[in-house]
Structures are given as structure tokens and as C-alpha cells.
Amino acid sequence: MAREWQIEPATKRAETDAFGKSLYAGIEDMDRKVVERVGEVAAARGVSRGQVALAWLLQKPAVTAPIIGATRIHHLEDAMGALSVKLSPEQIAALEERYVPHRVAGFA
Amino acid sequence: MVATRFALEESVEYATLGVCGLKVSRLCLGCMSYGISERGAHPWTLNEDDSRPFIRRALELGINFFDTSNSYSDGTSEEILGRAIRDFARRDEVVIATKVYYPTRKDPNGRGLSRKAILTEIDKSLSRLGTDYIDLYQIHRWDYSTPIQETLEALHDTVKAGKARYIGASSMFAWQFCKALYVADINGGTRFVSMQNHYNLLYREEERGNAGAVPGRRHRRAAMEPARTWALGP
């Protein structure tokens, strides 16, 4: 979600995280539309895609502290920037509009 | 020791974790990417020398909340986090979260949420982290082979023994989470204060009452710490 849609895995984790892959199997076409909206909101706001994704979570009343992974230092700094991104109701609606239900995955 | 900046005027905001008194930064650094790559199931992990700058930088940025698991990279994620905290921070100024459930040994008791497993695994986590206490001790998944009453009593005992400050849950159905809160309440035991779930713009099933835990969480007012927030990125 933090970069444009790609066919080839972009990181070693994307290549080798078998559990992570299982969470998103078979729904690529639906997800692509959401990722496009992330890019549009990021461009409109002049912030990164990752910041949009995190800002959306941070504005959910249920969420206390999103957990971020970082394997490059700029990931951390980028994530911190999300704390000052406040999305408008219209932007939140645009990000949520294309979502379709996914298979429940990841539980024991 | 880095100059940690836990002042509210800095860029990080802090929030209380649900209805408990614990204060955490609004971002938590997940430490699953830090571990010896040859050990455990995650070949993408960064080894110790490459991991430490991330923990240090997070502290500099005001992040006080760090999450790992006894299962990440065969326990080496906990070891790397513990040493970095000891070198770069003051223990009491940070919030360390770890987890129990996944196999750590081949024998049938080296996994799961039995009283035997929990009381053994928390001591091993404390040893790897090099600390006297874990701030947030979480169950990584639901254990269908152990009564939740047994799990909750063992977790309650870790709190009363001073080994854990708070307990939390992760990745389970809403009915399971609600059942655990109910069982804790009727027994006067320690309740889960948090739910670490999988929630992002590409996976919002947590918003459904029959799938994830958000409705239950909001009703019961436990905190939520979503993982995989970037969905296979950055």
C-alpha cells in the first residue's frame, strides 16, 4: 500500500513472508482500486502513501497505536509524519469506498 | 543512552492504552523484522547490528512502545530489543510488549496457552529481554486446546507475581475476546486491556461483529494496536 501497485515482490519480506501472502491471496484486483485511492489522496495532500494509510488508522476512534515495521530509517521518519496528517471526511470516504469484504484470515 | 524525548510538545502524541493507566506513543515499533535471520521462520529479518539503529532512532523520535514475541526469530527478536533498550534507554521509560502462544520447542508443552506453557515462557522472555517485567504480555492467538479460564488464571498470576504489568490479546474472533473479558470479570481476574489485530485499508474485516474484534473492543473499551498497518509495505 505504501508504493504503487507492483506485480513483482519489492522486498525480501514480500517474497518470503508466507503468512503475509496468505492474508492477501486472491483479492488483488479489489485491493488495487483501494491502493489507487491511497495514491490519489497522497498526491492531493502532498504526503506519502504510507502516511495516508497510517493517518487513516490513527483517525479511527478504536485505534490507540498502530504497529509499524521499519527496515529503512526513513520508514520511521515517514511514519512519524503521519501523526500530523489529518484526513478530511471526504478523503476518508474516498479511501474506504472501494473496499469489498475479504476472507477472514490470520486467526488460529 | 540517547536523549529520549517523551515530552508532549514533541511530534509524538501519547495515549492511554484503552481504559488502563498505561501511556503509550501513538505509534508502536514492531520488532518482528529484527532478529537473527538464520533462526526461526523469517528470513527477511535484520541482524542485531543492523537492527539497533532502528530502536535507537525510534526512541529519539519519541516512540516509547515496542512490540515483539517469544516466537520471532526463535527468541532473538526479544534479545535484540532487550539489549538495545538497556543500551539506549531507561527501562522504566519504555513500554515493552511481547507475546506467548507459538511453538518454542518440539515437545507438546512448548507451545500454547496452558498454565505450564505460560509460566515457563514468561520467564524465558524475561531472561531474553534482560528485564524484571514485561509491560504488556499478550496471547498471540486463541488456544483451542486450553480452557480460557486456565489461561486467564495463569496470566493473572504473572501480573500478581510482578512479571507482567498488563495483559493483552491478539488476532481472535470478537466472541472469543468478549468471552475472555467476561470470564476474567466473573472471576475477579486481570482483564485484557488491548487487542492487537490485523487492520488496515486493505483488510477491514475487524469492523464486522462476526469476524474481528473492533465492535467488541469498542463496547468493552480495550485498546487496539493494529499490526500490518502498511499491508505488505513499505
pTM of the model: 0.89
Higher pLDDT, B191 or A2: B191
Q: Which residues are within 8 A (CB) of B65 and not within 5 positions of it... i.e. 6 or more apart?
A: A65, B24, B25, B27, B28, B29, B94, B95, B97
Q: Residue A95: its chain B contacts at CB < 8 A?
A: 201
Q: pLDDT averaged over chain B?
A: 89
pLDDT digits over B5-59, tens only? 444 434 468 999 887 899 999 999 999 999 999 999 999 999 999 999 999 999 9
- B72 catalytic residue (yes or no): yes
* Grid-cell match 473496499, residue found: A99
Find the mean pLDDT for residues B109-135. Answer: 98
Query: Nearest CA of chain B to the CA of A54: how many Å?
Result: 7
Could you report how far apart the first and last alpha carbons of chain A are, in Å?
A: 25
Would you state the pLDDT for residue B207? 85
Question: For chains A and B, what is the number of CB pairs under 8 angstroms?
Answer: 184
Contact between B66 and B29 under an 8 Å Cβ cutoff? The reply is yes
Find the mean pLDDT for residues B205-233. Answer: 61
Nearest Cα to Cα of residue B97 among B72, B118, B66: B66
Angle between the A89-97 and A49-58 helix axes, to the nearest 10 degrees? 110
Would you state the pLDDT for residue B215? 45
Provide, rounded to the nearest whole percent, the portion of chain B with pLDDT above 90.
77
- Domain locations in chain B as residue ranges: 9-227
Kindly state whether A77 is in contact with chain B, defined as any CB-CB distance less than 8 angstroms: yes
Residue B48 CA to residue B170 CA, distance in Å, equals 26
Q: What is the CATH number of domain B9-227?
A: 3.20.20.100
Angle between the A28-45 and A49-58 helix axes, to the nearest 10 degrees? 100
Residue B142 has pLDDT above 70, yes or no: yes
Please judge whether A34 and B15 are an interchain contact, meaning their C-beta atoms are less than 8 angstroms apart. Answer: no
Of the ranges B11-25, B92-106, B194-208, which is most confident? B92-106
Q: Which chain A residue shows the shortest CA-CA distance from B28?
A: A67
| Confidence tier at B227 by pLDDT (50, 70, 90) | confident
Provide, rounded to the nearest whole percent, the portion of chain A with pLDDT above 70.
91
* Grid-cell match 484526513, residue found: A87
Q: Indicate the helix (H) or strand (E) that contains B14.
A: strand B14-16
pLDDT digits over B163-185, tens only? 999 999 999 998 899 999 999 99
Report the range of poorest mean pLDDT among B13-22, B71-80, B137-146. Answer: B13-22
Active-site annotation holder among B14, B34, B72, B166: B72
Higher pLDDT, A22 or B54: B54
Indicate the residue type of B107.
D
Provide, rounded to the nearest whole percent, the portion of chain A with pLDDT above 90.
60
Please judge whether A1 and B18 are an interchain contact, meaning their C-beta atoms are less than 8 angstroms apart. Answer: no
